[in-house]
Amino acid sequence: MNNQKKSEAFYHKSIRLKGYNYTSPGAYFITICAYQKKCVFGRIINNEMHLNKFGKIVETEWIKTSEIKKNILLDEYVVMPNHFHGIIFINNEYSAVEATRRVASTKALPRLQSGSIGAIIGQFKSIITKQINTLRKTPGLPLWQRNYYEHIVRNDAELNRIREYIVNNPMQWEIDIENPDNTDRKTVKDYYSFS
């Protein structure tokens, strides 16, 4: 394989809305998946999510995110066996120092725009990875898949549909696109269509 083909094989196309300012005030629906979709955060029993110690770390850090960053408000969220869903609101009041305070990674990361959804989610993933890898004694082991899925919430009706989806997600685990035992493979775009 020549160098051009090698670089194309490893290039990841951005899934972000081109030209959109992800520091803009508004609501965002976020989905973050565990590395290789491994069920590391707990399990579903009788249609309810039962968090293990790693899942409890995810939940605790999500709640801490809004305590540390005064420019965001958290809404519905759920930690699932191998992924996380949450709604986050960004408002205009913001301190640029907050965006870089909690990053735990030792790897060189591309610069994210302070206060953006990417910076917030990057910090969230990083601090959880460090904590869980410390407990597992597995420094450097990936916990999350690269990137995350985000949907810009456009109106109240859509927001309410997403809230309902999040609340009902544990009851839908058998048909969840992120469930490794589910053989019905819809596309992410089809599965997370709330418009």
**pLDDT (tens digit per residue) in 123-144:** 999 999 999 999 999 999 999 9
Q: Tell me which architecture the domain covering 23-189 has in CATH.
A: 2-Layer Sandwich (3.30)
- Does the pTM surpass 0.85? The reply is no
124 or 103: which carries more pLDDT confidence? 124
Reply yes or no on whether the pLDDT at 109 is more than 70: no
Reply yes or no on whether the pLDDT at 106 is more than 50: no
Task: Give residue-wise pLDDT tens across range 21-54.
Answer: 567 788 999 999 999 999 999 999 999 999 999 9
| Tokens 């589910």, located at residue | 182
Tell me how many degrees the CA angle 75-79-84 measures, rounded to the nearest 5.
80
Separation between Cα atoms, residue 127 and residue 105, nearest integer Å: 8
φ/ψ of 36, rounded to 5, equals 55, 25
